[in-house]
Structure formats: C-alpha cells, structure tokens
Amino acid sequence: MYKLYCRIYQAIFRLVSYLLPWRQPQLLEGENSLNALPALIRSKGCDSVLVVTDKGISSLGLMDGLLKGLEEEGVAFVVYDKTVPNPTIDNIEEALKIYRENNCMGIVAFGGGSSMDCAKGVGARVARPGKSIPRMKGVMKILKELPPLFAIPTTAGTGSETTLTAVVTNSKTHEKYPINDTVLIPNYAVLDPLLTVKLPRHITSTTGMDALTHAVEAYIGRSNTRQTKKYAREAVKLIFENIYEAYSNGTNIAARANMQRASYLAGLAFTRAYVGYVHAIAHTLGGFYSMPHGLANAIILPYVLEYFGSSAHKPLAELANLVGITSPEDTNEQKAVKFIEAIKSLNESMNIPHKVKDIADSDIPLMAKRALAEGNPLYPVPKIMTLKDMLKMYELIKE
C-alpha cells in the first residue's frame, strides 16, 4: 500500500504540474556577458540591490567588475558575503535584515549553489514576511512573486540559476531540506564561462558531477516530459565530453562554457522532472556533516543506480548509447552496467573517493528517516525504497 500511495501521489502531481506557471530565466551568455548585467538591472527599475555571495568569492575579486558596473549605472548595492557552503536559516535571516535596512528592490545571487539558495530564501521571506523558512519546506508553500532575482553562477553544477528549488539547513537540528516553488526560478541568469576559469580542480569535478546527477536522476525518473528528456540527454553528453577537460585544463574556455551549458540544461530537466534518492541522501550528509553537495552526489550516484537494477536498465542503456560506450550486441542490462562503471571511472579520474568518511553509526537511523521522508512520496524514482533499503544504502556508502 505504501508504494502504491507513492505512485498515486506522483501521478497526480505530474498531472498538476502541467498547470503550474513554469518559466525559464532570461539568459545572458558568453564571455564577458556579466558586463551587460548592471544595465539590465537598472532597466528593470531596481535602484538598490542586495548581492548575496560568500567570503571566497568576495576575496577573489570576481565581483569587482559587477560592482563597478552597478556604480556606473547608479544602482546602489549592499553585499552579504557570509553564506556558508550549506546555507542556513540564520544566513537567510541575516541577509534579509540587510535587504530591509537598505530598502533593496532586487537580489543578485553571485556564486555557487549555496549563494543562490540563500538568495532565494531571502526572496521567499520578502515575498512572505509572515512565514518562516521551516513553514516553506516542501512544495508550493510560497505562491507569491519574489523581488527580481538575478543569478550569476560561478560553478558549473548546481543549475540553481534555473531551478525552482532552494536547499536550506537548520543548524540547530542538522536538517537539510528543499523548498520547491516555481516563484523561486530566477528571472535572469548570467552564464559567463570566464567566472569559472579559476575554479579549483576539486570544485570543478564535484560540481560537474552534481550536474550529471541532476541530469541522470531526471532522465530515469517517471515524471519526464519530452522536453526534460531532451535537456537531460544533452546535458549528459556535454558532461561526458567536457568534464575531464575542464578539470585538467581549467583555462579551456570552450570546455568551461560547455559545462555551464550542461549545468543549465540539467537544471531545466530536474526542476520539472525532479531528482531522486541520491539527493535525499546527500542532503542529510550536508545537514549532519556539512559535506559539499556535489561531492556527496558524486559518491552516492553509482550506488543508487545499482540499487535500481532492472527498473532503470532501459533509460541507463539509452544514456550509455548516447555517450558511445556500448557495443551492438550488448543487452540493456550490460549497457546500464557500463554506464554506471563510466560514472565510477569519471570519479576515479578526478580523485573523487568511493566512500563517505566518518559517518557515525548512531546518526544513520535519523538520516535514513529524513532521506526517506524527503524522497517519498515526492520523487518519481524508478524503484521505491523502504526504510530497510535506505538503511542499507547508508551502510554501502560509508567507509
């Protein structure tokens, strides 16, 4: 009955999703496209903006050109740079206070997924001032337009510049959970590959595998549309062709641009088709141990795909064909195995570990319950896990 309930919920939600107000952000793309953003912000009537970022980004000087451009356009700005890798409710409330004190009219998210999640959280609180972040947990709990949101990714992985999701951590309970609402989709996004050139190798690799996880989980799920499957396939192909080059030769602008494009497409795919248990498990590792999300996804992905078994053989075989690692005589099962092995090989080539260190046995029961509560009934996965399955998954991934 439990699994039937999940499938009925997913079927209803899939039907309802056709009625939701989906949108895609207006894009500025290409080298130096960031330079065009200040004039765009000004043209939208934003006289004052909050820029949400982190200490790493602000110390690198990546925002200097943007801030100078805002000054030249007469747009006042204030910077919040205390965002942590797994942004907390405290981060959001601190940034919200600055937004209000400076009478801001728009929000600029500059950085990786954490900065964008924090910025989305601020926007949600502005839109619904009487509603706390915990009360927005889940699906469609905001339902009011945010201030104009401009997203500038400096990594190629989260796809947050085009998604309806903000992932938030409660630092008191160590719970990490998504807020999902179409109003969280940014209005404008800048894909400037020059912003990713100085990314450290380990961030290039793990954020890239994050994008791959988005594309694969979306593609094998049961809530795809023709368009989301197209986005996911294109993203997977671009990642397989470019991730190692971007990792090993970070100044290759073409590879960087292709990875940005792949991340964006994977975001388009999963914001409509959803993700799966890889994300549910990764969120608990982020909440309990502050583990970077992309790293967690990269490690967990092969294990979850192997768990799905025959329920995912066909779509995984299609992806294996797409990236050119199959033979004509291979069965779907053999192709699927080759695809999973190719993911493991990518991880190994970029020094991503096979297991997660330092998972406390005492934490596993609560993490498993939280992961299952996130995944079921919402995520339209190929095969539904029970609590016993989830507990076993944590045992498999821990070192």
Q: Measured between alpha carbons, how far is 70 from 53 in angstroms, rounded to an integer?
A: 16
Distance of CA 75 to the CA centre of its chain: 29
Find out whether 137 and 181 touch, Cβ atoms under 8 Å: no
Tell me the whole-structure pTM to 2 decimals. 0.96
Q: For residue 268, give the nearest of 220, 319, 316, 232 by alpha carbon.
A: 232
Q: Measured between alpha carbons, how far is 16 from 92 in angstroms, rounded to an integer?
A: 30
Check residue 60 and give its pLDDT: 87
The domains of the chain, with CATH numbers, are 20-196 (3.40.50.1970), 201-397 (1.20.1090.10)
Q: How many CA atoms lie within 13 A of 207 on its CB side?
A: 29
Q: What token pair was written down for 385? A: 């896990």
Q: For residue 277, give the nearest of 1, 85, 6 by alpha carbon.
A: 6
Nearest 5°: CA angle at 200, between 199 and 201?
115
In this prediction, the residues of the chain whose per-residue pLDDT falls under 50 are none
| Cα dist from 72 to 38, 41, 46, 84, whole Å | 8, 12, 14, 30
Check residue 374 and give its pLDDT: 97
Nearest 5°: CA angle at 337, between 297 and 214?
30
Q: Is 51 helix (H, G, I), strand (E, B) or coil?
A: strand
Q: Measured between alpha carbons, how far is 7 from 395 in angstroms, rounded to an integer?
A: 27
Check residue 328 and give its pLDDT: 94
Phi and psi torsions of 382, nearest 5° = -65, -35
Q: Please tell me what DSSP assigns to residue 325.
A: -
Question: What's the alpha-carbon Rg for the chain, to the nearest Å?
Answer: 20
Find out whether 204 and 294 touch, Cβ atoms under 8 Å: no
